Amino acid sequence: TTTAMRGQTLAFPDGFIWGAATAAYQVEGATRADGRGVSIWDTFSRRPGAIADARTGDTACDHYHRYAEDIGLMDRLGLSAYRFSIAWTRVRPDGSGPVNQAGLDFYERLVDGLLAAGIEPYPALYHWDLPQALEDRGGWTDRDTAYRFAEYAETVQARLGDRVRTWMTVNEPWVASVLGYGIGVHAPGRNSWADAFRAAHHLLLAHGLGVRVLRAGGASQITLNVNLAPVLTPGQVNDPAVALSPEDAEAVDRVDALINRQFLDPVLRGEYPARVLPIIERVAGLGHIRDGDLAEIGRPIDLLGVNYYTPCVVRSMPGTPANPAYPGTEDIEFPGAFAPTTATGWPIVPTGLSQLLLRLTRDYPGVGLLVAENGAAFDDVVSGDRVHDADRTAFLESHLRAAHAAIEAGADLRGYLVWSLLDNFEWAEGYNKRFGIVHVDFGTQRRVLKDSGLWYREVIRRNGLWKERARRPTLEEVA
Ligand code: GBH
């Protein structure tokens, strides 16, 4: 890098981690290969009406067989890290029974391939694909599942711990509990608020027990990934400094406690927020929260994985019934934001990311931050061997500018992982929503680096953005 180039670059800190993420059920396919057991997503995706166009993850991106080609793509991108998840059912097909060595062999090939390409593996142990056998015994509503998770974590680490330095425990306990057990739009498709709160607690407990065994096994960095959203009134979306009425301030605080602090406080402070406990007690009782659990859950971690997509927009509106996804939100309306949206309908608010990172820095000091997911679904324009996705590039660029601003203002942000490396099985949306920086033709499994991927490669190469938006190179320059 010449001085001139550095002058034009909005540089990120040295050693900043540039990566991309996927999850097992969304990309692997090969759901019957080499002794893999049945997960709740195999079951749920066959439930009539559960998934758009009745699709499943049976084939997905066939990453199980094409991982070497996919590592080649990561190498072209110049990624420093690849976040993937391990399918519990490949390792212990029944959740708790015998270990399936063939499943571990796959992750060993993947990890070795990544290391050979100079890419740091960031495995996540749980990205929603619970073994069906455990669900049949109560799933995450049963405390025992957390202990089975710790057992499985230990098994995986015993095989890969000499090569994996960074471990991710659980991905998005809010989504897994609320969408899976509370409103049934994700596996296992149950509909009970009480179950959702119990599941959330047991997912947190699984994380804590996982930290304990991973640490004992010598892990050097441990994270959990939480989906976080700044909670804002419609007025704050455009002007964060706008003054709130006491009613709006209360609505914001209550929803923030439910979606963010319910997970952050146990993990980073060893306690449930006082604002949430009475809601949990009313809905589920407190019997599932035992003495000692919060000490277990609050074990120190090194990094917090922040998954950010969009803010949560609320305002006080007396008489409104509780939002089905948020018990305890009586008298609060969720009006959405006046902002452009992605193909999933989520408002695009890049400043939400800087606000979030700075708020974490202020309220939860001492833990490093990693953007563990950020990205967007848009429709691709395929033209010959190019895939045009200018909207995605603009989305990523504006969020990276926001991340950079947070770093300048003092956030200890260590890295950024794009969701996602590949277009993939987008849960209840099937294959209709494309989040990849690599286009996947699901008929032929052909992969093509999208324009956003070519752009990201350039960002990684210079460890930064172009200072002036206008100086962004043309695609011809970077292709
Ligand atoms: C992540 O979940 C997952 O980890 C990943 O597997 C998935 O593919 C990816 O995101 C994309 O969906 O209130 O209607 O504006 C993200 C989950 C996304 C949940 C945003 C809450 C709010 C939508 N979150 N969502 S809305």
pLDDT string in tens for the chain (479-residue length): 445 555 689 999 999 999 999 999 999 999 999 999 999 999 999 999 999 999 999 999 999 999 999 999 999 999 999 999 999 999 999 999 999 999 999 999 999 999 999 999 999 999 999 999 999 999 999 999 999 999 999 999 999 999 999 999 999 999 999 999 999 999 999 999 999 999 999 999 999 999 999 999 999 999 999 999 999 999 999 898 999 999 999 999 999 999 999 999 999 999 999 999 999 999 999 999 999 999 999 999 999 999 999 999 999 999 999 999 999 999 999 998 789 999 999 999 999 999 999 999 999 999 999 999 999 999 999 999 999 999 999 999 999 999 999 999 999 999 999 999 999 999 999 999 999 999 999 999 999 999 999 999 999 999 999 987 655 656 566 65
Mutate to test the pocket of ligand 1, among 55, 310, 437 (most ligand atoms within 8 A of CB): 310
So which residues are the catalytic ones?
A: 172, 373
Is 404 marked as a binding-site residue? no
Q: Is 346 in the pocket of ligand 1 (CB under 6 A)?
A: yes
What's the pLDDT at 267? 98
Atom from ligand 1 closest to the CA of residue 435:
11
CA quadruple 122, 126, 128, 129: dihedral sign: positive
Q: Is 458 in the pocket of ligand 1 (CB under 6 A)?
A: no
Helix (H) or strand (E) holding 137: none
Q: Is 289 helix (H, G, I), strand (E, B) or coil?
A: coil
Distance (Å) of CA 129 to CA 91, 347, 436, 446: 12, 28, 21, 26
Whose Cα sits closest to atom 26 in ligand 1?
346
Is 281 marked as a binding-site residue? no
Distance 309 CA to ligand 1 centre (A): 7
Check: CB of residue 150 under 8 Å from CB of residue 212.
yes
Check: CB of residue 53 under 8 Å from CB of residue 1.
no
List of residues 6+ apart from 309 with CB closer than 8 A: 227, 229, 346, 373, 374, 375, 376
Q: Is 306 in the pocket of ligand 1 (CB under 6 A)?
A: no
Rounded distance between C-alpha atoms, residue 452 and residue 438, angstroms? 8
DSSP 54: G
- Report the candidate in 20, 7, 1 with the shortest Cα–Cα distance to residue 435: 20
Rounded distance between C-alpha atoms, residue 141 and residue 130, angstroms? 12
Whose Cα sits closest to atom 7 in ligand 1?
426
Rounded distance between C-alpha atoms, residue 327 and residue 1, angstroms? 53
Q: Is 431 in the pocket of ligand 1 (CB under 6 A)?
A: no
Check: CB of residue 154 under 8 Å from CB of residue 117.
no
Residue for token digits 């959203």? Answer: 229
- Whether ipTM tops 0.85, in short, is yes
Q: How many CB atoms lie within 10 A of CB 234?
A: 17
Q: What does the angle CA 316 – CA 318 – CA 322 come to, to the nearest 5 degrees?
A: 80
Whose Cα sits closest to atom 3 in ligand 1?
172
Q: How many CB atoms lie within 10 A of CB 56?
A: 18
Separation of CA 256 from chain center: 18
Q: Is 85 in the pocket of ligand 1 (CB under 6 A)?
A: no
Check: CB of residue 415 under 8 Å from CB of residue 13.
no
Is 127 marked as a binding-site residue? yes
Phi-psi region of 453 (alpha: psi -120 to 50; beta: other; left: phi over 0): alpha
Distance 326 CA to ligand 1 centre (A): 15
Distance (Å) of CA 393 to CA 19, 127, 452: 15, 26, 5
Retrieve residue 294's tokens: 């919060």
Rounded distance between C-alpha atoms, residue 92 and residue 175, angstroms? 23
What's the pLDDT at 6? 56
Q: Is 310 in the pocket of ligand 1 (CB under 6 A)?
A: yes
Express the helix, strand and coil content of the chain in percent, nearest 5 each: 45, 15, 40
